[in-house]
Amino acid sequence: MSTPPSVHTALAHHADLPCDSLGNPVTLHDPSSLGPVNDFVEGFIRCEARCVRLLDAAADSSPWVQASVAALHLFAENAQAPRQARPFIDRALAGARHATEREQRFIAAVAAWVDGDLARAVALHEEQARLHPRDLVSLKLGQYHLFNQGNSPGMLRLALACAKAASDVPQWHGMAAFGYEQCHLLREAEQRARHALQHCPTEPWAQHALAHVMLTEGRHREGRQFMRQSSGGWQPLNSFMRTHNWWHLALFELELGEHDAVLALYDQQVWGVEKGYSQDQINAVSLLARLELAGVPVGERWRDLGEHLAQREHDHVLPFLDLQYLYGLARAGRTEQAHAWLDSLQAHAQQVHGPLRAAWLEVACPAAQGLLAHATGRAAEAVQALGTALPRLLETGGSHAQRDLFSQIHLDALMRSGQWVGAQNLLQVQANQHPESQRLQRQAHAVRTALGLPTD
């Protein structure tokens, strides 16, 4: 990957340091660490499993390396992650004075993440984007934090701050595309995604962004064909990106009524890569729930998933994750554990400070109550609680496509509790916008029948 001349000029005062593959100088105590560093830099922005090869260089006490290893531990998204990351970030901070100014800011951002100070972490990533726009690891990490706060405009602004310096990098276009899509700027999102794919046909984040656009616009047949054609390049990806892109293909198959194909994708691609990983688990919860909401029997699949969810022991990392863990436990028949999780979630919400406090207290708590009510057959209670939470569900994080699960559960609760007028008002609009969706057409037909309306 070539570095623009302007970047070479800006880096001249670090001419004695090696550079990563994006042209950023790196302070290394062991020169042999440059290979794992580039695996991390390239693998992280490309969503490839090779990013974890940086762990092979964990013995290198270079501050940036130590901070990046700490970040890898934090991406486990479990209660133990900050403790596991702490020794690495402490070593990074101890040696930070010997690092470059860019590296020092990255170290400080990861340290803020370890400490749970997400506002400071985001501010540092924003500053990094302005001052070092080729640091796309920092950009992607900043977008991750903003995504988890439901701040899609912030995701897009962060990407656009790097536009001039990083427009030669296909992965930057993929990151910008997803920011545009989450801001409902679908035309711009598709343009960026297709630009990325023109220069790197296997770019998975651009494929992911384009799948979002097609799903939102009801282009289900086109989306299915596109994701099927793209799937040949997914094997080297990290478990999240690999299973999540298969999950997106499964959504297209589900809308088109191909239920056997969805079950096969669940069994062979979505569930089973990293069963202990948060993102793999919520992909599985979401897909099983959507199948049931579409009237598809899922057999004993909840049981295996529930066994892995039960091992989490109330590690409240992100509200969006918690909501799906709780629902999955309840649907797996672990009702007592689900109720205990709700109690633990509510207690945790009282202790949260920072930008996610309102999301936990005012959104996740009522949403969790509604999800548990639906999962245990109390539809009217689910309608009331979810109706309170849904207008602000954005604050809990997740994408539009992911959060649609909760809207589908709310709609199902309306129908199960006989609130047909409310169901028709919500459902018919969606059916009109998605004429290819057999799921929505079938549900709309059932609602019109219940209301005595024409069904032709």
User: For residue range 187-219, what is the model confidence (pLDDT) as tens digits?
Assistant: 999 999 999 999 999 999 999 999 999 999 999
Q: Which two tokens stand for residue 126?
A: 């924003």
Cα 408 vs. chain centroid, distance in angstroms?
Answer: 19
Selection from 3, 63, 68 nearest residue 30 by Cα? 63
DSSP 307-322: HHHGGG-S--S-HHHH
Give the domain extent around 75: 5-168
Q: Which whole number is the average pLDDT over 85-94?
A: 98
Residue 8: pLDDT over 80: no
- Asked whether residue 246 is assigned to any structural domain, the reply reads no
Q: Which whole number is the average pLDDT over 70-87?
A: 97
- Asked whether residue 229 is assigned to any structural domain, the reply reads no
Residue 368: pLDDT over 70: yes
Does residue 413 or residue 14 have the better pLDDT?
413
pLDDT category, 2, cuts 50, 70, 90? Answer: very low
Q: CB–CB of 283/244 below 8 Å?
A: yes
User: For residue range 110-163, what is the model confidence (pLDDT) as tens digits?
Assistant: 999 999 999 999 999 999 999 999 999 999 999 999 999 999 999 999 999 999
Residue 169: pLDDT over 80: yes
Q: Which two tokens stand for residue 32?
A: 């042999």
Does residue 13 or residue 329 have the better pLDDT?
329
Give the integer Cα–Cα distance in Å for 158 and 399: 17
- Asked whether residue 80 is assigned to any structural domain, the reply reads yes
Residue 19 pairs in a beta bridge with: 25
Residue 408: pLDDT over 60: yes
The kind and range of the H/E element at 3 are none
Torsion of CA 269, 273, 275, 276, to 10 degrees: -140
- Asked whether residue 280 is assigned to any structural domain, the reply reads no
pLDDT category, 11, cuts 50, 70, 90? Answer: very low
> Over pLDDT 70: what percentage of the chain?
97
pLDDT category, 6, cuts 50, 70, 90? Answer: very low
With 0-12 / 13-18 / 19 or more C-beta atoms within 10 angstroms meaning exposed / middle / buried, residue 3 is middle
- Asked whether residue 303 is assigned to any structural domain, the reply reads no
- Asked whether residue 56 is assigned to any structural domain, the reply reads yes
* pTM value > 0.85: yes
- Asked whether residue 140 is assigned to any structural domain, the reply reads yes
- Asked whether residue 410 is assigned to any structural domain, the reply reads no
Number of domains within the chain:
1
Give the integer Cα–Cα distance in Å for 10 and 302: 55
CA atoms within 13 A of residue 387's CA, in its CB half-sphere: 14
pLDDT category, 405, cuts 50, 70, 90? Answer: very high
Selection from 257, 255, 265, 190 nearest residue 234 by Cα? 265
Q: What ranges make up the beta strands (E) of 24-65?
A: none
